[in-house]
Structure 1
Amino acid sequence: MGKFHQLRQNANSLFMKLLFSFMAIIVLLISFNFLSYTFFRNNVTNEILRYNNLNLDKTVSDYEKHLSLIRKVAFSIYFSSEVDVLRINSPRIQYEVAGQIRQNIRNMLGNDNLYLNNIILYFRETGFIIEKEGTTLAESMFSKFYRSPAYSYDFWKEEFNQPYSYKAYPASSFTDVSWENWTSKGYMIPYVIKDNANAKLMIIAMLDANSMFTAFHQSINRNFLVLNEQGETLFSSVDPNQKITLDQLTGGKGHLKVGTDYYFYSKGPSGNTYINIVPNAGISSQIIKLNVILVSLLVLAIVISIGASILFSIRMNNPLKKIVQTIQELNQSPTAPNNNGSIKEFALIGDRLTNLLQTNRIIHEDLRQKNSQLQYYAYTNKLKMIRTGGLDWKEPIVSEKPFVLIVFDITFRQRYFENMETDSDFAAYFLKEYISTALSHKYQETTVFQMEKNQIVALVFPQAEEPAITDSLREMKQIFDRDQHYCFLTIAVSPVYPDSSRFTQAYEQATSKLKQRSLGEDTQIIADERKQSATFQAFTLMEEQEFHANLHAGNGPAVVQQTLRMLCTLNKKQASAQDFADFSKHVLNKVLCTLAALQLEGRLAKDNEAPQTLLADCHTLAQYESFWTGFLGEATGWIKQKKEARDPITSFVFDYLDTHYGDDLSLELLADKLNITGAYLSTYFKDKTGMNFSDYLNGMRVNIAKDMLQNSNLKIQDVAVQVGYQNVNSFIRMFKRYAGLPPGEFRKTAQQDG
Structure 2
Amino acid sequence: MNRMVSMLVTPYARIKSPPLFFWLLLSYMTIVALLSSFILYSVFFYRGHVKDEVITYNNLNLTNTSDNYEAKLNLIKNSVLSFSMNDRLAALDKPTFDYTAGGKLIDELQVFLANQSLYLDNMIIYFKKSDVAIEKSRGADADVMFQRYYNSSDYSYDYWKTQFDRPYVSRILPASAFSEYDYSNRQLSSSKLLPIVIKNKTNPSILIIAFADAQRMYNDFHQSITDDFYILDNAHRSYFASAGGGLEDIPAFDGQSRFVKEGSNYYFYKKGPSSGLTYVNVIPNDNISQMQWNINFVMLLALAVVLSLLASFLFSLRLRLPVKQLVKAIQLLTTGSPWRKHSAIKEFAIIQEKVRHLLDSNMDISHHLEEKNSLLRHYAYINQLKNIRTNAGHLKDLIKSNQPYRVVLFKLTFRPMLLEEIGDEERAALFIRDYINNILTEQYPESLTLQLECDQLLSVIYSDEAASSLDTTLEGVKTVLELDRSYCFSTMAVSSRYEHPDDFKHSFEQAKSMLQLRKFNGTNQVLREISDAKLTNYYLMPAQEEELNACLTNGNEPQVMQFVKRELAALRKKDATEHEASSFADYLVDRTKRAFIVNQLDGELLRTMQAQLQHCHAFEELEQLFAEWLPRLMDLIRSKKEKKDHITSFVFDYLEQHYAHDITLDMMADKLNITRSYLSTYFKEKTGTYFVDYVNLIRVGRAKELLSRSDVKIQDAAARVGYQNINSFNRMFKKFTGVTPSEFRKVERA
Instruction: Normalising by structure 1, report the TM-score.
Output: 0.45
Taking CA–CA contacts closer than 8 Å with sequence separation of 6 or more, which of the two structures ends up with the larger relative contact order? 2
